[in-house]
Amino acid sequence: MPSFKIDTSTAVTFIAVEPKPKLKNRQTGEIAIDMETGAQMMTVGLTIADDGEANLYTVSVPVTGIPKGLTLGMPVKVVGLKARDWENVSGGEKRFGIAFRAVALACVAIRERAPTDVAVWRGSDNGVVETADRIIVALDFDNRRAADEIVDRLGDECHFYKVGLELLTAAGPDLVRHLVSKGKDVFLDLKLFEIPNSVAGAVRAAGALGVSMVTVHGMGGRGIMAAAVAAARDFPELRVLALTVVTSMTDADLTDVGVAASTQAQVLRLAHLAQEVGCHGVIASPQEVASLRGLLGPGPEIVTPGVILPRESSGEHSRPGTPRVAVAAGASHIVVGRSVTRAADPVAAMRVIRADLAS
């Protein structure tokens, strides 16, 4: 049985607490469906050292929140965690609050032991799900001033930003350094598609900037993705994500470039290849998330652009979806753009999305 010495000051984000009446199934090690959100959940058995007494609890957590090192039904002994420290943990009885925190901390401990097993959850230790950490706001601007203005307006409402080719070309790497210096996570969406040596160099440069995510194009093949993964090893916090099929493409577009497979089939093929070479996750539209989570399992991250609010125009995205649908299907992060950045009140727009995800 694995045993983890936990530093209780570690900042993590909580997930969901057992018992929860609307779960079909609560048996340790089995997948259940949250009847309220439709999300896949799994139950993990925990042996917790509670003021010197070992007690077995079960906690249900989203499948997407468990790194590969923590398997279904795996008993985890968590030591150094005291019941009195968590008397005010929300989410049910005190003992389940303790178990709740313990499973999140166990994920963090596994991540520290094996950096490639990336735990999605992190952030606050206040006992509630930090939905803001799921939301990545795309800074799709052609100048730094506009980007700075939206970041300043959002303030603490947003922790994660996407910087793409347009803004990086216009504003340069200093913008990225500025965001990192403000404590923001940066998703550097480069869609790298070059010879392996050039891709590796770009990934190292991204790591040196302090970004959290960088993208490589899955269509580049095994060699390019493997080079990116190898280059990222010197930067434990950097995750390499493989772009599968851009959200503007359709089956007809794939045919035009000589790909006979459907969009769905091509996404799954490239995602499987990305997983084989060690990518930390993939980029895909909301419409492929459920299939991808079934294929890849609980560990890899799935980041979904093409996310729009209900009744909002899909714009250039051919395969869109709403935030709640994407997350319920298994997305670890969603990317929103104009829904927030072009809103009359960006802060209010962010709060609407967060409320939708938390409902």
Mean pLDDT of 182-208: 96
Q: Tell me the pLDDT tens digit for each residue of 135-174.
A: 999 999 999 999 999 999 999 999 999 999 999 999 999 9
Query: Domain check: are 100 and 189 in the same one?
Result: no
Can you give the CATH number for the domain in which 304 is found? 3.20.20.70
Tell which of 113, 142, 166 closes a domain: 113
- Identify the band that residue 221 occupies on the pLDDT scale cut at 50, 70 and 90: very high
Taking residues 172-182, report their average pLDDT.
96
> Which range has the worst mean pLDDT, 56-70, 212-226, 241-255?
56-70
- In tens, the pLDDT along 86-97 reads 333 333 333 444
DSSP 331: -
Nearest Cα residue to 212 out of 242, 194, 189: 189
Q: Give the pLDDT score at 131.
A: 61
Residue 100 resides in a domain? yes
Boundary (domain end) residue, out of 50, 78, 113: 113
182 is catalytic: no
Domain co-membership, 105 together with 165 = no
Same structural domain, 204 and 101: no
- pLDDT-based confidence at 306, cuts 50/70/90? confident
Residue 94 marked ligand-binding: no
Residue 310, φ and ψ in degrees, nearest 5: -55, 140
Residue at 124 is within a domain: no
- Domain identity same for 199 and 348: yes
Predicted local distance difference test score (pLDDT) of residue 50? 41
Q: Please, is 195 exposed, middle or buried when counting C-beta atoms within 10 Å of its C-beta (0-12, 13-18, 19+)? A: exposed
In a domain, 233, yes or no: yes
Please indicate, yes or no, whether residues 77 and 195 belong to a single structural domain of this protein: no
Instruction: Quickly list DSSP for 45-93.
Output: EEEEEETTEEEEEEEEEEGGG--TTS-TT--EEEES--GGGGTT-SSSS
Query: Is the residue at 221 inside a domain?
Result: yes
Mean pLDDT of the chain: 72
Q: Is 337 annotated as a binding residue?
A: yes
Confidence category of residue 14, pLDDT binned at 50, 70, 90: very low
Closest CA to 342 of 310, 317, 308, 311: 308
| Measured distance CA(46)–CA(66) in Å, rounded | 14
User: Of 68, 77, 94, 191, which residue is the catalytic one?
Assistant: 191
Q: In this predicted structure, what is the pLDDT of residue 151?
A: 97
| Higher-confidence position of 78 and 132 | 132
Flag whether 83 is in a domain. yes
Res. 327: pLDDT tops 80: yes
What pLDDT, on a 0 to 100 scale, did the predictor assign at position 320?
A: 58
On whether residue 206 sits in a domain, the answer given is: yes
Kindly state the percentage of the chain with pLDDT values over 90: 42
Residues 89 and 201 in one domain: no
Q: Check whether 2 has a pLDDT greater than 50.
A: no
Between 44 and 6, residue with greater pLDDT: 44
Whether the link from the prior residue into 320 is cis, omega within 30° of 0, is no
pLDDT tens column, 255-266: 999 998 888 889
- 140, 106, 83: which is closest to 1 by C-alpha? 106
Range of the domain at 83: 3-113
Does residue 35 surpass a pLDDT of 80?
A: no
Measured CA angle at 190 (ends 188, 193), to 5 deg: 150
Q: Are residues 239 and 307 in the same domain?
A: yes
| 153/267 same-domain check | yes
Pairwise pLDDT comparison (213 vs 292), residue with the higher score: 213
Q: Are 277 and 229 in contact (CB under 8 A)?
A: yes
Range 20-34 average pLDDT: 38
Domain limit, last residue, from 68, 85, 113? 113
Q: Report how far residue 102's alpha carbon sits from residue 98's, in angstroms, rounded to the nearest whole number.
A: 6
Q: Do 59 and 154 fall into the same domain?
A: no
Q: Assign 290 to helix, strand or coil.
A: helix
Same domain, 136 and 109: no
pLDDT of residue 310: 62
In a domain, 120, yes or no: no
Predicted confidence band of residue 357 (pLDDT cuts 50, 70, 90): confident
Of the ranges 13-22, 154-163, 292-301, 326-335, which one carries the lowest mean pLDDT score?
A: 13-22
222 is in an annotated binding site: no
Alpha-carbon gap, residue 213 to 304, rounded angstroms:
13
What local confidence, expressed as pLDDT, does residue 70 receive?
45
Question: Is the residue at 122 inside a domain?
Answer: no
Question: Based on the domain organization, do 36 and 161 belong to the same domain?
Answer: no
Domain co-membership, 107 together with 140: no
In the chain, what percentage of residues exceed pLDDT 70?
60
Residues near 120 by Cβ (< 8 Å), separated by ≥ 6? 64, 65, 301, 332, 333
What is the band of 322 on the pLDDT scale with cuts at 50, 70, 90?
confident
Domain count, the chain: 2
When pLDDT is averaged across residues 68-79 and rounded to a whole number, the result is: 44
